[in-house]
Amino acid sequence: MENWDKIFTTKNLAEASIIQGLLTENEVPVQVFNKQDSSYPMFGEIELYVPTHLHTTAKQLIENALLN
DSSP sequence for 25-57: HTT---EEEE-S-SS-TTSS-EEEEEEGGGHHH
d(CA 56, CA 62): 10
pLDDT band at 62 (very low <50, low <70, confident <90, very high): very high
The domain ranges of the chain are 4-67
What pTM value is reported for the model? 0.88
Between 2 and 7, the more confident residue is 7
* pLDDT tens digits for range 12-47: 999 999 999 999 999 999 999 999 888 887 899 999
d(CA 27, CA 12): 23
Q: Which fold has domain 4-67?
A: Alpha-Beta Plaits (3.30.70)
